[in-house]
Amino acid sequence: MQRNTGRIVSRNPDRETVTSNASAPLTAGAPWIVMKFGGTSVATLPRWQNIRELVASRRAEGARVLVVVSALTGITDALKQMCAQEDKGKRIEAAKAITQRHYDLLDHMQLAVPDALGARLAELAKLAEEGPAALGELAWAALVQAHGELMSSALGAAFLSHSGLPTQWVDARECLAAVALPNQNERTKLLSAMVEAKPDPALNERLAKLGEVFITQGFIARESQGRTVLLGRGGSDTSASYFGALLKAQRVEIWTDVAGMFTANPRQVPGARLLQKLDYEEAQEIASTGAKVLHPRCLSPLREPRVPMLIKDTNRPELEGTVIGPEVREHAPSVKAISARKGLTLVSMESVGMWQQVGFLADVFAQFKQHGLSVDLISSAETNVTVSLDPTENLLDSDAVAALASDLAKVCRVKVIAPCAAITMVGRGMRSMLHTLSGVLAEFGQLRVHLISQSSNNLNLTFVVDESVVDELIPRLHEMLIAAGALRTDDSALFGPSWQSLYGSREAVVVGDAWWRMQCRDQLLALGAKATPRYVYHLPTVRQQARELKALTSVDRLHYAVKANTHPAILRALAEEGFGFECVSPGELKAVMAVVPESAPLLFTPNFAPREDYVWALTTRATVSLDSLYPLEHWGDVFRGREIVLRVDLGRGLGHHEKVRTGGSGSKFGLPVEQIDTFLRLADTHGVTVRGLHAHLGSGILDDKHWGEVYGQLASLAERIGSVAFLDIGGGLGVPSHPGESRLDIAALEEVLRKVKSAYPHYKLWMEPGRYLVADAGVLVTRVTQQKGKGSWRYLGVDTGMNSLIRPALYDAWHEIVNLTRLDEPATALYQVVGPICESGDVIGSDRRLPEAKEGDVMLIAQAGAYGKVMSSPYNLRDEAEEIIIGV
């Protein structure tokens, strides 16, 4: 045998096109590669051509290849329906339709019906004709369903052989023997059988004599009485593993529609990263706790013979995929994935002093068994034991829980808690990572956590929470795990690209397209040489962003949230682009009115403003918004006869940091929904008309669906208030900062908004973007002052810090930092970039890879156009950064 270390050679064989005819014949001891293809991969001619190329390339590696196939997509379901059909005529009809599917594919392949397939089709017709009577219901059903794979493999053998790759058809039932297990009934014996697969040199030898490329069936095996049995859910992948173990293969390849396992479910977290290396236990844990790409049972056959598994995308064979193998070497501990399992029911049992009694716990668990409920997670305290139940049919649609609870209630207090979801973080050595999880744990601190479990195998950490919070929580936790360095996406050996960048439609942020990098670099260097620190704003970028948003045709009016940047040139440029202006203080209103034309609409949206602010604002042309009962309760006369906007709190907040969340009870913004009726009564009393509804949930949001939800919720609230004419869904349009993050998809946003608008055409739609318009347009230019080494840490000092740009200290915001003087030099140093302020928090960027810097180098801090200068302070009495406009 060849080496079988579980390592996949790094060269990429998928790029090569080789035909097996050209290769030298294989020796008897040549290694095996098992390749499994699912139903959609075997359903069309192009897919089979693809399979042929892949198989040939594996053969060219010097390996024997065993191909394991599923039935053509849809055929297993059709066979199941045929089994459920009592009418013979309809069964025969169904068998004919199934036969036709295979004929159609053969037609495309321009192949005659091969004998092997002909025999299968005839047998299927006979089974349809005879019905279950002779064999018995279950054995007959198993045999009927086995035909899906028997037919697809026969068809595949013909195609591969015909296209120059001589392929032997192997009956899986000759190789896989199902074992009898205790507690097995006839149904599980026949329809979800198990095989004990140990390396079998005799089988290896027998097949090696027959040829080099083989094809067989997934999903089926044979039991001791010779009857055909099925392997149940995940059966084809499991077959591949059984064969991998029997042949002690060099590897098992699972070819599917996605490149492997990801750090989270990509449907929930588009930024989830491909996991390139996992050990069996981790992969099994991830598969068990949510990932759908593999059935967890298909890994155990491979563990003992140490056969690695490789998951690959059939459509994108060039992608690395996920390798699952023995634990090879210690990596720095990292969380590998976060997943959620929904639909759990918890049973919490409370009793004082009983748990220590001998046999008490056994009696309690006996109740679960008696009611047919199987326990998954368990946690216990001195007085409480809480367990989780998976959402089985018995749980949902029988009175099992009611009966269980009433039996348990005789010995303890019972509480049934549902619907819950288990959020699991998986990674080897989880306990050693706890210190990095403080932010994540704090997030759980705001929720109802019903149960925490951590098993002794140290592979996972599970929190059970209310199911309703999960969809929003998972993406946030995923991001926090990366930010906290718990999910070490910086380790490129373990973590591949994001799902978004592999499969998403959005364009990812491309390095090199920023205005300051090429176009204006010299100008910036000159500005930096003259004096620093300086903010430099690039007006064409402001205009470009403005025009992007103007493409949102569903939006009737855009207001620039001026708090992001009040530079007069920017205000003027946006007025020219037709924007209105949203101001939060009299100062902002005055600054805006001083530079924009009379025609530009103004909004006054203060929070906890004093009475005189409203009095003054009502003397201007600004539309005034209120977000609490107090002003109408106490200063009703101020607003008499006025039209106002009501800012509501829809009860949840979103955003990239706790301090930029502006919705939810923990936030001081907005009127809670349940106070709206009271507000309206007050408004009526004072003759105040609510003309608009406004909600704003936070900033830095990159998920387009979010605005659709806010818009829809506002609209349904507005329906209760006759006077409303417009809805303002705020801003918060995210600007990606980390490399690899995707831009907000404006076209997708437009689609989301358009959908809501068509349901509520009678409301005008307003938005208030701020940061989106100006963040990328501004940079902070500074110069290197000095350096310091401290242990392994290297500090790079620049001449301004949190006095000019407080976002990193306040929000943990990440700003790209470059050495503009040495932009083209290799980034060999790892710096903590710090400012001159006497605060330990004065760090602009940590662990930045930069070229070796020298005193006087011009450094650039990107994305500083929003909330930069406006939030600066005279702290330490350092000179303030001057603002310069370029590209007018």
- Cα 221 to Cα 194, 642, 766, distances in angstroms: 9, 79, 63
Q: Which residue, 472 or 745, is less far from other proteins as judged by CB?
A: 472
- The bridge status of strand 167-169 relative to strand 213-217 is parallel
Residues facing residue 603 across a β-bridge: 582, 623
Q: Reduced to 3 states, what is the DSSP secondary structure of residue 849?
A: strand
676 vs 810 by CB, closer to other proteins: 676
Please tell me the number of Cα atoms within 13 Å of 134 on its side-chain side. 7
**Nearest to other proteins of 578, 687 (CB atom):** 687
Catalytic residue among 83, 298, 520, 838: 838
Residues at the interface with other proteins (CB under 8 A):
343, 345, 389, 391, 395-402, 404-406, 408-409, 413-419, 466-468, 471, 673-674, 689, 691, 708, 712, 715-716, 719, 721-723, 725, 755-756, 759-760, 762
Minimum Å gap between C-beta 395 and other proteins is 5
Q: How far is the CB of 626 from other proteins (least distance, A)?
A: 19
Least separation, in Å, of the C-beta of 410 and other proteins?
Answer: 9
Q: Is 572 or 764 the residue whose CB approaches other proteins more closely?
A: 764
Handedness of CA 263, 264, 267, 269 (dihedral sign): negative
Output the smallest distance, CB 707 to other proteins, in A. 12
* Contacts for 724 with CB less than 8 Å, ≥ 6 apart: 690, 691, 692, 693, 718, 763
- Cβ-based nearer residue to other proteins, 364 or 418: 418
What is the nearest approach in angstroms of other proteins to the Cβ of residue 121?
Answer: 34
CA 858, distance to chain mean position in Å, is 38
Q: Distance (Å, rounded) from C-alpha 404 to C-alpha 400?
A: 6
667 neighbors 607 (Cβ within 8 angstroms): no
Nearer to other proteins, 178 or 465 (CB): 465
E strands of 554-635, at which residues?
Answer: 557-561, 580-583, 602-604, 623-626
| Shortest Cβ 769–other proteins spacing (Å) | 22
**Phi then psi dihedrals of residue 151, to 5 deg:** -75, -45
CA–CA separation, 828 vs 345, rounded Å?
53
Q: Which is nearer to other proteins, 483 or 721 (CB)?
A: 721
Return all residues near 546 (Cβ < 8 A) that are at least 6 apart. Answer: 558, 573, 574, 577, 579, 773
DSSP 556: S
Least spacing, CB of residue 469 vs other proteins, in Å: 10
When the beta carbons of 204 and 713 are compared against other proteins, the nearer one is 713
61 CB-contact burial (10 Å; exposed 0-12 / middle 13-18 / buried 19+): middle
Q: Is the Cβ–Cβ distance between 42 and 48 less than 8 Å?
A: yes
Q: Which is nearer to other proteins, 392 or 832 (CB)?
A: 392
Shortest spacing between CB 396 and other proteins, in angstroms: 4
Written as one letter, the residue type at 299 is: L
Which of 366, 409 has the CB closer to other proteins?
409
CA dihedral 628, 634, 639, 643 (to 10 degrees): 30
Compute the least distance from the CB of residue 408 to other proteins, in Å: 7
- Decide if 838 is catalytic: yes
Distance of closest approach, residue 505 Cβ to other proteins, in angstroms:
21
Distance of closest approach, residue 498 Cβ to other proteins, in angstroms: 24
Quote the crossing angle between the two packed helices 568-576 and 539-550, to the nearest 10°.
Answer: 40
CA neighbor of 239 nearest in space, from 192, 182, 280 = 192
Nearest CA among 755, 726, 774, 718 for reference residue 560: 774
5 φ, ψ (degrees, to nearest 5)? -90, -5
C-alpha separations of 573 from 540, 569, 588, 599 in Å:
9, 6, 17, 14
For 380, which DSSP code?
A: E
Which helix (H) or strand (E) covers residue 465, if one does?
Answer: strand 460-466
What are the distances in angstroms from CA 402 to CA 158, 377, 413, 686?
57, 20, 14, 54
How many Cβ atoms are within 10 Å of 379's Cβ, its own excluded? 18
Q: Residue 871: name the closest of 808, 798, 784, 799 by CA.
A: 808
Per DSSP, 24 falls in state: P
Q: Which is nearer to other proteins, 55 or 715 (CB)?
A: 715
Nearer to other proteins, 544 or 689 (CB): 689
Sign of CA dihedral 19, 257, 478, 832: positive
**Closest separation between CB of residue 15 and other proteins, Å?**
40
Tokens standing for residue 150: 């028997």
Q: For residue 552, report the phi and psi dihedrals to the nearest 5 degrees.
A: -75, 95
Considering the complex, state which of residue 1 and residue 402 has its C-beta at the smaller distance from other proteins.
402
Residue with tokens 């690209």: 497
Helices and strands (H, E) in the chain, number of each type: 28, 37
Rounded to whole angstroms, the Cα distance separating 439 from 445 reads 10
Q: How far is CA 709 from CA 650, 704, 729, in A?
A: 10, 9, 10
**What is the closest distance, in whole angstroms, from the C-beta atom of residue 531 to other proteins in the complex?**
53
The catalytic residues are 838
